[in-house]
A = this chain, B = another copy of it.
Amino acid sequence: MYTIKELQKIISEEIDIEIKRLNGLEPKNLYEPIAYTLAMGGKRLRPVMVLLAYNLFSDKVEKAIHAAIAIEVFHNFTLLHDDIMDEADVRRNSPTVHKKYNKNIAILSGDAMSIMAYNYLQNSESKNLPNMVQLFSQTALEVCEGQQFDMDFETKMNVSIHQYLNMIRLKTAVLLACSLKIGALAANAPETTADLLYVFGLDLGIAFQLQDDLLDVYADQNIFGKKTGGDILSNKKTFLLLKALELSNQQTKIELLDWIDRKDFDPDEKIAAVKQIYNKLNIKDITINSIEDFYQSAISIWNEIDLPIETKAELLQLAQMIMERDR
């Protein structure tokens, strides 16, 4: 078995080779932005999940590299196009593609990345390839659905917690779930185990996103790296805001909606005021409890996975790594 660190090293080296190859292709304005996007880095969480799941059943993780790259390229494609849609200028301290190049180049190189993801996947050697492609396609479409729901929520006031959880399931969790299952499928794992890994990834993905919502408000700024309160300033319909709207009495609700409607405000004052409402409603603990519920659900699934404890230990490590990030 490989450790997560070892798998991160393996996939990073493979992606670096791809980046070099892409930088040599024509037209430069199509392939350079793709290489640039992939070179932005990150923890390579999803491709590591592919390799880790594969590694539960086989040591020849090099056979899952193509599938792992496919998932990472697809994920980076969604970030690239999301950045255009969100008009985000910076990602991981670098200018986004539509800022560094232009919007048209960003649209088109994203399109090419989504096609390349299929190309990489198609190059996997596995008897299970049709099932892998099927799962990937379904997941990719769900990610688009999640992104559209997220955009719809921006202008919709009465979003329920149920609708919100469904949105983050689609936008974030299914790709983590797919990463694990596709690795298992590549290794010809038993179907029931592959399905358990999927649900494990799904629960973990939802916990991961809820934690993201929580950290935006309650993170230790020194550890978090970026300023907290961004979601509050942009009126993002996070779990915290929706829960607060759900639990607040008439007066508090009016106060909260007033902060959301205000065009002129002092940013720090708005963050402090909304945070005070959250504190009054105990939103921090409620969110932590909900994260814990999804995390514990993932652990129950982990217990059900029919593999020796020492084999599946690394999977638990991954779950802990995801949940302990930046805290």
Contacts and interface: CB of A to CB of B under 8 A. Distances in A.
A277 interface: no
Contact of A115 (B26, B114, B130, B147): B114
A279 interface: no
Interface in A111-143: 111-112, 114-116, 118-119, 122, 129-130, 133-134, 137-138, 140-141
Number of identical protomers: 2
Contact of A114 (B114, B129, B134): B114
B30 A111 contact: no
Contacts of A29: 148, 151-152
A215 to B, nearest CB: 26
SS class, residues of chain A in contact with chain B: helix
B30 A148 contact: yes
Interface in A83-133: 84-85, 104-105, 107-108, 110-112, 114-116, 118-119, 122, 129-130, 133
A225 interface: no
Contact of A112 (B30, B130, B144): B144
Interface string A141-168: 1001101110110000000000000000
A41 to B, nearest CB: 23
A30 B115 contact: no
Nearest to A140: B115
Given A105-B151, A118-B118, A119-B138, 18 more contacts: A26-B145, A29-B152, A81-B107, A81-B108, A85-B104, A85-B107, A107-B107, A108-B148, A111-B111, A111-B144, A112-B141, A112-B144, A114-B114, A114-B115, A115-B141, A118-B137, A119-B137, A122-B130
